Structure 1
Amino acid sequence: MDQLNFPARVQLARLPTPLQPLDRITEKYSTPFDGPRIWVKRDDLTEAAMSGNKLRKLEFIAGAALEQGCDTLITCGGLQSNHCRTTALVGARLGLNVHLILRGEHSGEMDGNLLVDRLAGAKVSFYPQRQYFREQQEIFAHWEKVYADHGHRALLIPTGASDGLGIWGYLDGSRELLEDCRREGFEPEHVVCATGSAGTQAGLTLGFHLAGAKTQVTGYAVCDDESYFVRKVQEDVAQWASSNNQQFDEKTLRIAVNADYIGPGYGIAEEPVYRAIAEAAALEGLLLDPVYTGKAFDGLLRELARGRYRDCENLVFVHTGGHYGLFPHREHFSFLG
């Protein structure tokens, strides 16, 4: 992987992020089942505004935007999209216009990520869910033309910045994580993360493969199903290979997805997730969110209790951020008293 020619990049994140053991979690949820020591890669700490995993990807997206002479970023996501919030902050930091295409009906209340979007000065357009999915390409094209008509050049960024360009963020992140683990005296047998647009999973999976590591990456799905994520990872890797003149067969990758803990759907969690979030905070001072990391961490704890991962000594949970998404779910924590 050291021979790869990385594309243009804007240094935005504070790297490397810490790798920390979760020994109280390990003692309660892994040790009784002869499981591994649990670690957390704190990518929620990429910088002070808690932009998480999205910032690694956007370093390369922003690099491409500046290289191409763009002064505007247009992207999309849900009402509480972590990616959109991070794009808004990156745009503000670099002096770029940001336009967010958000999925869902806006109640008029600003909270969580949506509040930060507005604080950062992003323009926001809301679309009903059916129209958003049915007409997404047309919506992007419309706003690109609007900005062009006013003398601006826009870079269009897909959901989660997950594509053949954004994947560079976690190609670099996988190298950093391996270095972290080796300093601690081990090579991780398993790395797990939440997967929603698949970009983080794709970058980690490809990165470990190119490094010759035996590490198995598993994405805990927060939406869609296993076949979707396998296909999406392959598509991102194929696009990366094509764009960078790499001869690579994406079907040789070991792509693992656990889609058993999605619950009722994207952005909707059930009580076990909220209780897992509370326990991680109480035992480790680790703050998770109900949309991504909380679901994945709850799924991991339940898999450990079933005896999963007994085959390894060390497992790393990649904390991808998302803290602002916690607060719109405040009513679900009534069990705290």
Structure 2
Amino acid sequence: MTSPVNARPPRRHLAQLPTPLQPLDRLQQRYPDGPRIWVKRDDLTGCALSGNKIRKLEFSLAQALEEGCDTVITCGGLQSNHCRATALLCAQLGLKCHLLLRGEHQPPADGNLLLDQLAGAEISVYPAPQFTRELTTLFEHWEQHYAAQGRRAFVIPTGASDGIGVWGYFQASEELAADCRRVGISPGHILCATGSGGTQAGLSVGAHYHLPEAAVWGVNVCDDERWFLNKVARDLHEWRQRYALDTDVDAVDVRVIDDYVGPGYARADEEIYRSIAELAACEGLVLDPVYTGKAFHALLTERKAGRFGADGDMVFVHTGGLFGVFPHREHFSFLDH
């Protein structure tokens, strides 16, 4: 058995790291009651490649290359940040990328979908009921399709959230711990949006080793608390088994802040859009309505309610999503008044 601190899984250094850790001082002046808020700027992992997915894909795509694959198949919503990052990184690495997308495409393409097309990805769009019902079969179909062409395909699940992807935010936790030492803080709480569970899994086990005084909270943007507790546990057990690690993953503290899903995945209430606009005007920090906007709104609401205590420091992990703002443009009409 190996300690994850000493493990060396295959990795391609594709993100612009380390990302900054910054205090939100003007927001703190506006809302002074509660812990000081810092933001880990993982929206700055690249330009078109911005966001948290790249940290996980550094390991997933390295594994694909390690296995001699020339094609990557992955999946997500029509405006998936993960699919956009995968498409661009595959182009960078010379891999064919095939995206299985959930939704109803009405041209012209916008946001992440436009970037998928620019990156040259093969795109198959399926209605949501079929996508949900048949995803495993669809993966198998396309794997066999490429095998018949003499190609070798590597499948990456939603959000690169599996035992391989855990490494992305395990390593990010070590980086964050170094950031905290540099600025002289010991955060009591770390908070992120959670949509497929992989970022939360990596942060939770990473903090277990590198920031043991911090509680990691995932704000679910779909499904519910029980689903994410189970999903994070599955990812961590797969991670431990795949790499023969000595981590007692059942001892890892996993916490979920529920009740902020709103109307559903990739849908938001007006209060979320107004929170996004407020933070952009106050700090020049842009969130998105699908992930970070909901998570940061939860942070402010729960901080005001006293969940995180009265003082100390907390870190919000900004997981990106900038391109997801544009397809929601009509919901910001209040800015015109």
TM-score range, shorter chain: over 0.9
TM-score scaled by structure 2?
0.97
Which residue is 1:327 aligned to?
326
Cα deviation, residue 312, structure 1: 4.3
Paired residues of 2:38 and 2:314 also in contact (CA < 8 A): yes
Please give the alpha-carbon distance, in whole angstroms, between the structure 1 residues aligned to 2:100 and 2:78. Answer: 9
Instruction: For 1:169, give the aligned amino acid.
Output: G
Residue 8 of structure 1 aligns to a residue whose secondary structure is coil
User: Which of 15, 18, 29 pairs up with 2:17?
Assistant: 15
Instruction: For 1:330, give the aligned amino acid.
Output: R
Residue 135 of structure 1 aligns to a residue whose secondary structure is helix
Amino-acid identity (%): 58
TM-score scaled by structure 1?
0.97
Paired residues of 1:50 and 1:321 also in contact (CA < 8 A): no
Please give the alpha-carbon distance, in whole angstroms, between the structure 2 residues aligned to 1:246 and 1:308. Answer: 33
Which residue is 2:290 aligned to?
291
Instruction: For 2:176, give the aligned amino acid.
Output: L
Paired residues of 2:189 and 2:313 also in contact (CA < 8 A): yes
1:202 equivalenced with 2:204 (yes/no): no
User: What is the root-mean-square deviation of aligned Cα atoms in Å?
Assistant: 1.2
Please give the alpha-carbon distance, in whole angstroms, between the structure 1 residues aligned to 2:106 and 2:170. Answer: 38
Which residue is 2:253 aligned to?
254
Cα deviation, residue 3, structure 1: 3.8
Please give the alpha-carbon distance, in whole angstroms, between the structure 2 residues aligned to 1:3 and 1:88. Answer: 30
Residue 233 of structure 2 aligns to a residue whose secondary structure is helix
Cα deviation, residue 253, structure 1: 1.5
Which residue is 2:267 aligned to?
268
Please give the alpha-carbon distance, in whole angstroms, between the structure 2 residues aligned to 1:151 and 1:268. Answer: 41
Which residue is 2:79 aligned to?
80
Equivalenced residue count is 334
**Map of 1:52-71 to 2, 5 A cutoff?**
52-71=51-70
Please give the alpha-carbon distance, in whole angstroms, between the structure 2 residues aligned to 1:312 and 1:137. Answer: 47
1:217 equivalenced with 2:219 (yes/no): no
Q: Deviations over 1:259-303 (max 9, x none)?
A: 111101000001010001001100000011000001111111111
**Map of 1:276-315 to 2, 5 A cutoff?**
276-315=275-314
Residues 139, 57 of structure 1: alpha-carbon distance in 2 compared, 3 angstrom cutoff: same
**Map of 1:7-156 to 2, 5 A cutoff?**
7-29=9-31, 31=32, 33=33, 35-156=34-155
Instruction: For 2:20, give the aligned amino acid.
Output: P
**Unaligned 5+ residue runs, structure 1?**
none
Paired residues of 1:89 and 1:120 also in contact (CA < 8 A): yes
Instruction: For 1:326, give the aligned amino acid.
Output: V
Q: Deviations over 1:37-89 (max 9, x none)?
A: 10000000001214310000000011101111001110000000000000000
Which residue is 1:316 aligned to?
315
Residue 325 of structure 2 aligns to a residue whose secondary structure is helix
**Unaligned 5+ residue runs, structure 2?**
none
Please give the alpha-carbon distance, in whole angstroms, between the structure 2 residues aligned to 1:161 and 1:312. Answer: 35
Q: Which runs of 4+ in 1 moved over 4 A?
A: none
Instruction: For 1:205, give the aligned amino acid.
Output: S
Instruction: For 2:131, give the aligned amino acid.
Output: Y
Instruction: For 1:22, give the aligned amino acid.
Output: L
Residues 312, 213 of structure 1: alpha-carbon distance in 2 compared, 3 angstrom cutoff: farther
Please give the alpha-carbon distance, in whole angstroms, between the structure 2 residues aligned to 1:105 and 1:212. Answer: 42
Please give the alpha-carbon distance, in whole angstroms, between the structure 1 residues aligned to 2:275 and 2:228. Answer: 24
